[in-house]
Structure formats: C-alpha cells, structure tokens
Amino acid sequence: MVCLTHEIWEDPDDHGEPSPGCCLSGPRGGAFRQLLGPRARLVHTFEAGSYFEAMTTYNGFLGRGPYTTEHPSDVEPYPASWSSIALPISDDDGQ
C-alpha cells in the first residue's frame, strides 16, 4: 500500500481565528497551499494510505468526531502510481 504524507495547516482569519486545512505534501497539495495567506503555518504532518485514513487522522487531530463518508472510493488505497510522490515526513514533524 502507498502511504502519502499529508499536511495540516492553520490559516488565521481576519480576527486571528485559525482556519484548519489538510492537503497532500508535495506537488499534489500545491494548489491548496497557494490559497493560504501569509500568516498560515504548518502545524502537523502525517502519513495515510487512503483518503478515509487521512480524514480520520485529520478529524482526530482537530478533536472532531469520526470521519464518515458515503463514497466507497474514499476507503480505497491510494493508487500505486502515486508512490513517486510519497514524500517522507520531516524530522521536525512540521513544527
């Protein structure tokens, strides 16, 4: 199974309240990161083998309830062809 590195970001709104978001590390998360403001910060990185696993981890990090989905494809492993973008987690864990 291919495990991909994911990033959790916090991007403060105009009142300083953090707005969290999750994306893939590397090129597949580039479009998301381009939307972040100048005060955004990377708060956590983790690995997951499917979208469902990633969102379960993300929800857990944020203290939310369990992730649920109606889309069977969410629980399918990431395609093996994506292994070329599987970036390792850095030693500093994004902090």
Q: Is the pLDDT of residue 77 over 70?
A: yes
Least confident stretch, 39-43, 68-72, 90-94? 90-94
Mean pLDDT of 36-65: 97
- Residue spans of the domains in the chain: they are 4-85
Separation in Å, CA 34 to CA 3, 11, 23, 67, 89: 23, 12, 11, 26, 21
pTM for this predicted structure: 0.84
- Phi, psi for residue 9 in degrees, rounded to 5: -115, 150
Cα–Cα distance for residue pair 6/26, rounded to 1 Å: 9
The DSSP call for residue 77 is B
Report the run of H or E that residue 34 belongs to, with start and end.
helix 30-34
Q: Edge-to-edge strand order for the sheet containing 41-48?
A: 18-24, 4-12, 41-48
Mean pLDDT of 24-31: 92
